[in-house]
Structures are given as structure tokens and as C-alpha cells.
Amino acid sequence: MLASSSSAAMTMHALSVRLSGKRLYIADLARRLEAMEDGATPMNALAYRLYAKRMAAAMNGYPPGLLAAQLGRAHPSVLQAIESRQFEMARALGGTGAKRAAVVTAALLRHLERQRRAAR
């Protein structure tokens, strides 16, 4: 029993260390992206895309809720990346404004369809 709990503790520690390293890497990439967005660093499209892709890759396997709690306030780009990933996977928005966004989107699509028909 003691060996089993010791093994589990070591596994949890290893997971914590791995996630800590990932978190630092994600935070660094987010800082670089946000510096370009804010104008603190000159915008470089190639570097921006590279940082964004690396951040998305680093986020694989990291629990989104935990990542949002740890980095979301300091780095809005992390929250945007989490939301984008969730949208890509679910093909729908989540959260408090999702229902309203769906209603507005449906109304906009109906309006565009009416305009398209009227133009014929």
C-alpha cells in the first residue's frame, strides 16, 4: 500500500513538474505575442504565426481550465487560444455569452439571406 501511494505521489510530482515547464513556456510565448499586439515589440508576421503555433502545440495535454486559471488573467492571448481550440473542437461557443451570440448570429444570417434574395 505504501509503495503504491509513493508511486502515485512520484507520478503526480512528475506531472506537476512537466506542466510547470509547459506553463512557463506558454506564458513566455503569450508574452511575446501580446508584446507584438500591444506595439511594445515590432510586429513580425512570421514570428507571430510561429509563436501562436508553438503556443497551441504546447497547450496540447494541458487541462484548459487549469491553464485558464493559472495564466488567463495575466495573458489574455492564452484565454483566446483556449476559446479558439474549444470552438474548433465543438464548432460552437461556450460560456455565458454563447446563447446570446448564437441568437445574434442566427439573426445576422437571416438578414444576409434576405438581402441576398432581394438583390436577385
Whole-number pLDDT of residue 23: 93
Residues in the chain with pLDDT < 70?
1-15, 91-94
Contact 19, 62 (CB under 8 A): yes
pTM, full prediction: 0.65
Q: What is the pLDDT of residue 35?
A: 97
What are the start-end ranges of the E strands in 38-112? none
Residue 33: exposure state from Cβ atoms within 10 A (0-12, 13-18, ≥19): buried
